């Protein structure tokens, strides 16, 4: 059965020609020389006022990167990227490091207003309804322009600041964790990022602290011919909890722009990190002109026992997406979760999925992925679940559905399931009822069909995280999550 009309309508609402965030902001920018060289890296490092060790780290990464080849195994095709034709650093000329919001270029403030991102703390506080508060780090091209609620968070002991500031203020923490989840040499794009990363967020939650509000970073690419290379590092110390949200948009342009980010999460004993993404980079036009190349390495390390990392992503943007948010389940009893909905329209190409690497005993993981392809797009789920020798009692449940709208698009599924432990139990959508027998029974007993019950439960997981997204997009995201995959192809 083909997709139901309701789904088709909902997907149409976010078709490539409906992109709402494609405006450009006129701000005078200071850029690094075009291209990539050791000098450019020194330039970036100097701009950020970095210590010598950081510069050395970058230069080592650059040397390594020169010897690496761009990966070509993903099911995406694009013209060769000229890495020497990109500006690796672009920052607003007027006061690139504002002390307070009043110093920020009003044009930039307007931009975030237009995007619906609250940068003024009082505005939020003055709301009639006691709103859920969200601390925002706003990254504009290569620099963080504002970080809200820093003081209040500091009272709780939470460190939330641009990573370039953290390198200066908390060098020991950064040194200890930076590159410990995604090594400098991990892959072509991660290595490139290590050499040239400009900004991003740094979060540290001290032991036993439940972060008092949601943290969020909003990434905006604005300048032409630039790439954005942000780096995010989140550390949840023993017994702590944090929920982090990430959003991203870019102007409409005929050129392709590169976004190669690295996100590292570290969860120590009994800590929990929820990482949610609403990825809405400019997807290019209906003919496939322009759009962001989103080549991102995201990985979480459940380093401590009973730690939890949850990735939730809503992917509607980018011309090309190449991204596999993963969990290394190292600590005994740790848990990894991945909930994803990826909608591709126009000529978009998505190759995305996750990796759940079970190393510790009694580790569990759950993967729920929905891919919807429309127009002439290609949507690939690529995922790995593996249990190593010592992962006794590991468990995984995977469910990935895809839906096609029209017959000009493609949906592909490439799951890898590797088990080296007899006691590990892996189920790749063997039975939908395995989600939770009890929940299914409960729903079915109340008259829902098995399919309806499954949809309800799956949506339940995801909604929980998404209904509080601090962005205008939240409404759409919720709509997307509730999209019916009735008529899914496989």
Partner 1 sequence: MADVTLMKTPAETALAQAFESAKTSLPGQTESRAQAFEQFTQRGLPHRRVEEFKYTDLRAMMREIAPFAGVPAADEVKAALAGAKALAGVEALQVPFVNGHFVRDAVDFHNLPENVEIVPLAEALADGHEWLARLSPVPWANDNPVYQLNTSFMADGVMIRIAGPVEAPVHLRFVTAASSAVATATRILVVVEEGASVTLLETHESTNGANHQPNDVIEMIAGDRTNVQHVRVNAEGDKALALSTLAAKIGGEALFNSINVVAGSATSRHQVFAILDGENTNLRVNGATMLKGTQHADSTLVVEHAAPHCESRELFKTVIDNEATGVFQGKIIVPHHAQKTDGRMMSAALLLEEGGSMNNKPELEIFADDVQCAHGATCGQLDEDLLFYLMARGLPKKEAESLLVQAFLGEALEFVENEAAREALVGTVEGWLKARS
Site for partner 1, rule CB under 8 A: 1-3, 67, 69, 73, 389, 402, 404-431, 487, 489-490
Name which of 138 and 373 has its Cβ closer to partner 1.
373
Any idea what the Cα angle at residue 314 is, between residues 124 and 468, rounded to 5°?
25
SS3 state at 244? strand
Name which of 5 and 122 has its Cβ closer to partner 1.
5
What is the nearest approach in angstroms of partner 1 to the Cβ of residue 411? 5
Q: Which residues pair with 475 in a beta bridge?
A: none
Residue owning tokens 């590169």: 258
Name which of 389 and 446 has its Cβ closer to partner 1.
389
| Cβ contact 38:66 at 8 Å | no
What is the nearest approach in angstroms of partner 1 to the Cβ of residue 410? 5
| Cβ contact 280:316 at 8 Å | yes
Name which of 113 and 418 has its Cβ closer to partner 1.
418
Q: Which residues pair with 333 in a beta bridge?
A: none
SS3 state at 334? coil
What is the nearest approach in angstroms of partner 1 to the Cβ of residue 200? 30
Name which of 131 and 419 has its Cβ closer to partner 1.
419
Residue owning tokens 């919001």: 101
What is the nearest approach in angstroms of partner 1 to the Cβ of residue 1? 6
What is the nearest approach in angstroms of partner 1 to the Cβ of residue 409? 7
Q: In the numeric block, which tokens belong to residue 373?
A: 């392809």
What is the nearest approach in angstroms of partner 1 to the Cβ of residue 106? 48
| Cβ contact 348:362 at 8 Å | no
| Cβ contact 295:328 at 8 Å | no
Q: How far is the C-alpha of 108 from the C-alpha of 283, rounded, in Å?
A: 22
Count of CB atoms situated within 10 Å of the CB of 201: 27
Name which of 175 and 388 has its Cβ closer to partner 1.
388
What is the nearest approach in angstroms of partner 1 to the Cβ of residue 405? 6
| Cβ contact 482:452 at 8 Å | no
Name which of 2 and 22 has its Cβ closer to partner 1.
2
Chain centre to alpha carbon of residue 188 = 18
């Amino acid at each position: 059965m083909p997709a139901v009309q309701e789904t088709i309508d909902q997907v149409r609402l976010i078709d490539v020609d409906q992109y709402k965030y494609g405006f450009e902001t006129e701000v005078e920018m200071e850029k690094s020389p075009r291209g990539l060289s050791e000098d450019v890296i020194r330039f970036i490092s100097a701009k950020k006022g970095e210590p010598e060790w950081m510069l050395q780290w970058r230069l080592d990464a650059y040397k390594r990167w020169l010897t690496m080849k761009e990966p070509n195994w993903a099911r995406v095709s694009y013209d060769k990227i000229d890495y020497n034709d990109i500006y690796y650093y672009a920052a607003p000329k007027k006061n690139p490091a504002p002390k307070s919001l009043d110093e920020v270029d009003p044009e930039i403030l307007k931009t975030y207003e237009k995007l619906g991102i609250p940068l003024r703390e009082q505005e939020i506080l003055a709301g009639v309804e006691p709103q859920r508060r969200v601390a925002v780090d706003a990254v504009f091209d290569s620099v963080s322009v504002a970080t809200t609620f820093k003081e209040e968070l500091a009272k709780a002991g939470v460190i939330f600041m641009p990573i370039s500031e953290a390198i200066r203020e908390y060098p020991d923490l950064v040194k200890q964790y930076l590159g410990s989840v995604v090594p400098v040499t991990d892959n072509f794009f991660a290595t490139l990022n290590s050499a040239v990363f400009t900004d991003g967020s740094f979060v540290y939650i001290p032991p036993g602290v439940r972060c008092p509000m949601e943290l969020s970073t909003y990434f905006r690419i604005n300048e032409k011919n630039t790439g954005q290379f942000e780096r995010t590092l989140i550390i949840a110390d023993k017994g702590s909890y944090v929920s982090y949200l990430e959003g991203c948009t870019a102007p409409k342009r005929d050129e392709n722009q590169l976004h190669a980010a690295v996100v590292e999460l570290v969860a120590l004993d009994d800590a929990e990190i929820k990482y949610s993404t609403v990825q809405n980079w400019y997807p290019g036009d209906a003919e496939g002109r322009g759009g962001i190349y989103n080549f991102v390495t995201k990985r979480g390390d459940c380093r401590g026992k009973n730690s939890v990392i949850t990735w939730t992503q809503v992917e509607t943007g980018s011309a090309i997406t190449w991204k596999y948010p993963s969990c290394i389940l190292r600590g005994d009893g740790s848990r990894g979760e991945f909930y994803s909905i990826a909608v591709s329209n126009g000529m978009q190409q998505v190759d995305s999925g996750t990796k759940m690497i079970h190393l510790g005993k009694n580790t569990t993981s759950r993967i729920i992925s929905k891919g919807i392809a429309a127009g002439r797009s290609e949507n690939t789920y690529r995922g790995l679940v593996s249990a190593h020798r010592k992962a006794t009692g590991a468990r995984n449940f995977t469910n990935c559905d895809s839906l096609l709208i029209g017959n000009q698009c493609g949906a592909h599924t490439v799951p890898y399931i590797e088990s080296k432990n007899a006691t590990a139990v892996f189920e790749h959508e063997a039975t939908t009822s395995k989600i939770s027998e009890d929940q299914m029974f409960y729903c079915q007993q109340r008259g829902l069909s098995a399919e309806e019950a499954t949809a309800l439960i799956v949506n339940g997981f995801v909604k929980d995280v998404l209904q509080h997204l601090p962005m205008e997009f939240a409404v759409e995201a919720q709509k997307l999550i509730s999209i019916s995959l009735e008529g899914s192809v496989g």
